[in-house]
Amino acid sequence: MTIVLVTGAGGFLGPSVVERLLTRSDLIIRCMVRSSVSLRLQQLVSRHPDRIEIVPGNLLSATHITGVLRDVDTVFHLAAGLRGSPADIFLNTVVASKQLLSAISDVNSVRRVVLISSFSVYGAATQPKGALIDEEFALDAHPERRDPYSFAKARQEQLFVAAASAQHSFELITVRPGVIYGPGGGGMSTRVGLRLPGMLLHLGRNNLLPLTYVENCAEAVAVAGTQPYPAPHRIVNVHDDDLPSSRRYLNLYRSHVEKLRFLTLPYSATMLLARMVEWYHAYSKGQLPALITPYKAAALWKGNRFSNARLKAMGWRQIVPTRDALMLTFEHLKDSAETPAADAATKLRRSQSTVGLYPHPSPPSLQLAASTDRSCAQ
């Protein structure tokens, strides 16, 4: 049996990755969680007590990590900072990664690291409208101009590439998901638009949304991480098939979750608004935050095409069809909006259990009614 480590196993994507790795018969899955163990992870442990180890710990604590890495062959590095101040996001993403890499070089057992990065590292802002984003697409030269998460993910990738080149002791596989969504993942992606009080500023128009349902993304992570040595592909983008446009997504959301009022802005108007916001931010010396700038707007709402050809060439197949995935997510969002927190949590557990019944790799044929997304990566 081979031991693999999943960092961030208690997060949104983590339990799904653990579940997909369980479908590979020869793996012991060591799960590093920062605080409490989620209910879903507990359920997986109770079903597979001999194959899952739970290890509480903090990547920022060097003493924790070395012990956790003992005899580990592959590290699936999911942990990242998603909330808080820019410094907090950077600390929990980049500095935590530095500690992990230091421990990896100490233990000498790790042969492969699978880094879960993000589409946000690509430099879409400076590329032409409609450009195809694949694994060869240029990286963002100024991620600090986009947002703290993108900046941290770009620096995190640099750190891992440098360590892999310097140490030569492990093989680095970088997985770049688009927008990860699903029950429990959160609200609408900013690629659709900006939520204002009582309405949505719809900025995505007819742009394709690079969505990946949490189970499908988890399967991609498992496929990428279990390629034979040496891996034929070191970088892989992850998004599902049948991507909806922003407009279609919004229509489905309005049909299945809430009758959200919206105003669609053409791209030229979005850029004008972004310039005004940026100008006022500078003029007022930061009295209002620069929520959108021309750079951010171009990165998010200019419009791109996407390719998951490499992912498919690696053997990935979409487990949950996009329509079903949207419906499951929308159902959860609707329940969350309508029911008290405790009831919503119960329904989340139910929907996650349902998702967990999907066989691998053949797709399901559930007839469900709902739709939406939530971004985690990207």
Residues of this chain that interact with another protein (CB under 8 A) are 34-36, 58, 60-61, 83-88, 90-91, 94-95, 98, 144, 148, 151-152, 155, 283-287
In whole angstroms, how close is the CB of 142 to another protein at the nearest point? 9
Q: 144 vs 258, which CB is nearer to another protein?
A: 144
Which of 270, 356, 267 has its CA nearest to residue 15? 356
Query: Which residue, 187 or 363, is less far from another protein as judged by CB?
Result: 187
CB of 34 to another protein, least distance (A): 7
Q: What is the 8-class DSSP label of residue 12?
A: S
Cβ atoms of residues 355 and 363 within 8 Å: no
Question: Would you state the structure tokens that stand for residue 349, as one six-digit string?
Answer: 């557990």
Contact between 72 and 107 (Cβ < 8 Å) = yes
Query: What's the min distance (Å) between Cβ of 43 and another protein?
Result: 22
Taking the C-alpha atoms of residue 328 and residue 364, their distance in angstroms, rounded to an integer, is: 13
What residues contact residue 179 under an 8 Å CB cut-off, 6+ apart? 119, 189, 191, 209, 210, 211, 212, 373, 374, 375, 376, 377, 378
- How many other C-beta atoms can be found within 10 angstroms of the C-beta atom of residue 80? 26
In the complex with another protein, the residue whose CB is nearer, 96 or 238, is 96
Is the Cβ–Cβ distance between 4 and 21 less than 8 Å?
yes
Q: What is the token pair recorded at 80?
A: 């990242």
Task: Provide the minimum distance between the beta carbon of 287 and another protein in the complex, in angstroms, as a whole number.
Answer: 5
Q: How far is the CB of 283 from another protein (least distance, A)?
A: 7
Widest pairwise Cα distance in the chain: 61
272-280: Cβ within 8 A, 24+ apart: 273/297
Query: Shortest gap between Cβ of 99 and another protein (angstroms)?
Result: 10
Which C-beta is closer to another protein: that of 143 or that of 178? 143
The residue type at 171 = E
State which residue, 165 or 367, has the beta carbon closest to another protein: 165
In the bound complex, what is the minimum distance in angstroms from residue 149's beta carbon to another protein? 12
What's the min distance (Å) between Cβ of 144 and another protein?
A: 5
| Inter-residue contact 76 to 29 (CB < 8 Å) | no
Question: Exposed (0-12), middle (13-18) or buried (19+): which is 77, by Cβ within 10 Å?
Answer: buried
In the complex with another protein, the residue whose CB is nearer, 34 or 77, is 34
Least separation in angstroms between CB 95 and another protein: 5
CB nearer to another protein: pick between 87 and 337: 87
* Cα separation of the two ends of the chain: 34
Which residues, at least 6 apart from 349, have a Cβ–Cβ distance to it below 8 Å?
Answer: 39, 40
Tally of residues, the chain: 378
Nearer to another protein, 34 or 202 (CB): 34
* Least distance in angstroms from the C-beta of 54 to another protein: 16
Tracing tokens 């892989």 back to the chain, one arrives at 236
Choose between 281 and 312: whose C-beta lies nearer to another protein.
281
- Cα R_g (the chain), whole angstroms: 20
Q: Is 117 helix (H, G, I), strand (E, B) or coil?
A: coil
CB 143 within 8 A of CB 315: no
Q: Which residue, 168 or 285, is less far from another protein as judged by CB?
A: 285
